[in-house]
């Protein structure tokens, strides 16, 4: 708050586990408009390791770090998102909170309201939105009638505090809701617990008021990593591979049959366009956007209302899964 355009934004990180360390890595390289002040983690050892690695301070308490910064990145486990973000916003700090925004829609709304009332930038870490390919996708996609998304990851051994829907599927839900400009009118979803206390695989079917359909599948138990989205719209089938950031657009499909004396041959032709994508580091783009918003140089591309809507659909998917899973034996 109260920053001049030439001032560097003093930023700290709260929670420096896996994701917080990625934030530290990027922040330490953003010299121009940012002063990476320090970190705070309830695990003092983690704070010390990261502080030493990036030659910054570590703070003993949350109050200490908040006294020394204009803005924070929060990367604590999801179950603490609400309490930590509420505190940082109430201390008038611009806040970039890792996804998901919170565990309930009421909590999400409260955070958005506090930020609005205090004129703070409050951004949720929907990092996929900052991939060059997703930015391009938003220029190409126009009134889709079907979106199919797959996000499969290998298992990571950790004490999960959420299922795969809040962990992975939320990225695709956010993107789908940004591409289909209509309200969700029907949700059906199924899931299965396999290794954690929550659903580890899930599949959701969404129907929108304008008739569009989205089918989203996520897994954190896959033997390979796949992140892909296929979009069908009038006269185009668009295929995005998030891993390589390649976009192919298929158009003008035609099928023909050739009948000879011996056999019938089927021929299918399509024109394929390959879109040139600027491949930047998405987390860097996300953090630069956060800083530019704080400095008043641009407006947030994802609004608080978007974040609440994404969480609300995500929670409805989880409810749909849980209703069916209650009848299933956990193994």
Ligand X SMILES: NC(=O)c1ccc[n+]([C@@H]2O[C@H](COP(=O)([O-])OP(=O)(O)OC[C@H]3O[C@@H](n4cnc5c(N)ncnc54)[C@H](O)[C@@H]3O)[C@@H](O)[C@H]2O)c1
**Contact residues: ligand X, CB under 6 A:** 14-20, 40-43, 46, 75-78, 80, 84, 98-99, 125, 127
C-alpha distances in angstroms, 100 versus 108, 121, 140, 169, 294? 9, 17, 27, 11, 21
CB of 137 to ligand X, least distance (A): 18
Would you state the torsion angle of the CA atoms of residues 231, 232, 234, 238, taken in this order, to the nearest 10 degrees? Answer: 50
Nearer to ligand X, 75 or 308 (CB): 75
Q: How far is the CB of 105 from ligand X (least distance, A)?
A: 17
Q: Which is nearer to ligand X, 33 or 41 (CB)?
A: 41
Cβ partners under 8 Å of residue 125, min gap 6: 19, 75, 96, 97, 98, 99, 286
CB of 125 to ligand X, least distance (A): 4
Longest distance between any two alpha carbons in the chain, whole Å: 85
- Cβ distance to ligand X smaller for residue 152 or 249: 152
Which CB atom, from 98 or from 144, has the smaller least distance to ligand X?
A: 98
CB of 202 to ligand X, least distance (A): 16
- Looking at the Cβ atoms of 77 and 300, the one nearer to ligand X is 77
| Residue 260 C-beta: closest distance to ligand X, Å | 54
Cβ 294 to ligand X shortest distance, Å:
19
Residue 146: phi and psi, rounded to 5, are -145, 130
CA dist., res. 157 & res. 168, Å (int): 16
Q: Which is nearer to ligand X, 84 or 175 (CB)?
A: 84
Interatomic CA distance for residues 77 and 162, integer angstroms: 9
**Chain residue at closest Cβ approach to ligand X:** 17
CB 238 within 8 A of CB 140: yes
């Amino acid at each position: 708050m109260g920053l001049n355009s030439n001032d560097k934004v003093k930023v700290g990180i709260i929670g420096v586990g896996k994701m917080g360390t990625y934030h530290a890595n990027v922040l330490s390289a953003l010299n121009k408009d940012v002063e990476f002040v320090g970190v705070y983690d309830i695990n003092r050892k983690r704070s010390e390791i990261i502080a030493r690695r990036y030659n910054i301070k570590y703070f003993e308490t949350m109050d200490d770090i908040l006294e020394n910064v204009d803005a924070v990145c929060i990367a604590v486990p999801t179950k603490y998102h609400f309490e930590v973000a509420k505190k940082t916003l109430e201390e008038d700090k611009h806040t970039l909170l890792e996804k998901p925004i919170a565990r309930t829609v009421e909590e999400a709304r409260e955070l958005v309201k506090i930020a609005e009332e205090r004129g703070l930038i409050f951004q949720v870490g929907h990092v996929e939105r900052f991939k060059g390919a997703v930015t391009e996708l938003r220029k190409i996609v126009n009134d889709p009638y079907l979106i199919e998304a797959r996000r499969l990851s290998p298992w990571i051994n950790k004490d999960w505090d959420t299922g795969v829907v809040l962990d992975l599927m939320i990225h695709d839900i956010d993107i789908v809701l940004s591409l289909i400009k209509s309200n969700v009118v029907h949700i059906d979803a199924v899931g299965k617990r396999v290794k954690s206390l929550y659903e580890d695989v899930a599949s959701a079917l969404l129907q929108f008021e304008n008739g569009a359909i989205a089918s989203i599948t996520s897994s954190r138990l896959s033997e390979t990593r796949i992140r892909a989205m296929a979009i069908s719209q009038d006269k185009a089938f668009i295929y995005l591979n998030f891993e390589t950031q390649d976009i192919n657009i298929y158009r003008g499909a035609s099928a023909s049959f050739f009948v000879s004396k011996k056999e019938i041959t089927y021929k299918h032709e399509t024109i394929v366009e390959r879109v040139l994508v600027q491949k930047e580091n998405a987390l860097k783009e996300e953090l630069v956007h956060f800083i530019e918003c704080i400095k008043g140089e641009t407006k947030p591309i994802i609004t608080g209302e978007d974040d609440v809507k994404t969480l609300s659909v995500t929670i409805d998917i989880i409810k749909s899964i849980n209703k069916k899973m209650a009848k299933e034996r956990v193994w």
